[in-house]
Amino acid sequence: MINVSIAGGTGYTAGELLRILLRHPEVNIESVISTTSAGMPVGEMHRDLLGETDMVFSDSFGNPDLIFLCLGHGLSRTFLKENNVPASCRIIDLGNDFRNEPNFGEREFVFGLCELNRERIRKAANVANPGCFATTIMLALLPLAANNLLTDEIHVHAITGSTGAGKRPGETTHFSYRDNNISVYKPFTHQHLTEIANTLTSAGNNTTPQINFVPMRGDFTRGIFASVYTKGDGELSASEMIELYKAFYAPSPFVFVSDKPISLKEVVNSNKGLLHIEFHNGYIHITSIIDNLVKGASGQAVQNMNLMYGLEETTGLKLKGSAF
């Protein structure tokens, strides 16, 4: 059994991680850390876990084999500075601290996009989990980058559910703002852009063209729906391009190319990523969808853990979405 601890145990990603790990056959949850909620039953904070576990929040991490860091962005480095985490303890960080700056003392973090770095993750002691928007967009573009087919500006419009903003309520997250409402935020400046560009370049593209990314807030709870397009190569036919995508994702147990248009509910509550590809006036248009809390965060973190410990990649992650 893999003994794990979860730091930052009260947030959405921690709650989703607990939902998955409680039914993972190879995991024992040693502690769920929250300095502000120590002693409180986990089921009181995460109401969907009421009756599922009798664990209480702790203010210390014990002696785990692996720690999941579900802390706010920028807080993982602080946690590691303030806590004496043994070098033998592996780390999966769900924040953004190590995605673009992978070194921390003796630790080096591998970027945890399984569809790109599967073999590196198998050998890793520390993993930086990708961001949710970044995962959705990278899945749409990785086959093009790997074949050096990204040669023109990339255009992305993507909409996310309210859970993407975290659990702490704010002016643009409360019900009266979100309900029956859509809004743009951080156009062309979103923090995931650096992560996306670095990954596409490392995937094989000689240089990554400009990415014009317009993120949007949706009036739903979970999921990301991305519309991505760029000029096609011109040398590959539509059928050849689709086969290129299907061949690229053939080793992945969670990413699938659909021949028919896709809708967001098909992935919600699952670790799947679905893609649909069309061609219009010289452009390739890719629709990409994931659940931001599962494939975009906690599910992908468990997928990384499975790889790190030599387990079947799908262990504990055979979750089914609901299309109605």
Contact by Cβ (8 Å): 181, 161: no
Question: What pLDDT, on the 0 to 100 scale, is given for residue 69?
Answer: 97
Look-up: residue for tokens 């094989």? 204
Question: What pLDDT, on the 0 to 100 scale, is given for residue 60?
Answer: 86
Question: What pLDDT, on the 0 to 100 scale, is given for residue 43?
Answer: 94
Question: What pLDDT, on the 0 to 100 scale, is given for residue 244?
Answer: 96
Cα 316 to Cα 306: distance, rounded to the nearest angstrom: 9
What phi, psi does 205 have (nearest 5°)? -70, 130
Residue 310's SS3 state is coil
DSSP assigned state of 109: P
Give mean pLDDT in consecutive 10-residue pieces for the chain, a chain of 324 residues.
Answer: 96 95 97 92 94 93 94 92 93 96 95 97 98 97 95 96 80 85 94 93 88 96 97 87 97 97 96 97 96 98 98 96 80
Catalytic residue (one of 70, 89, 114, 132): 132
Cα 152 to Cα 306: distance, rounded to the nearest angstrom: 36
CATH code of domain 132-293: 3.30.360.10
Domain spans of the chain? 2-129+295-308, 132-293
Question: What pLDDT, on the 0 to 100 scale, is given for residue 207?
Answer: 84
How much is the pTM? 0.95
CATH code of domain 2-129+295-308: 3.40.50.720
70 is catalytic: no
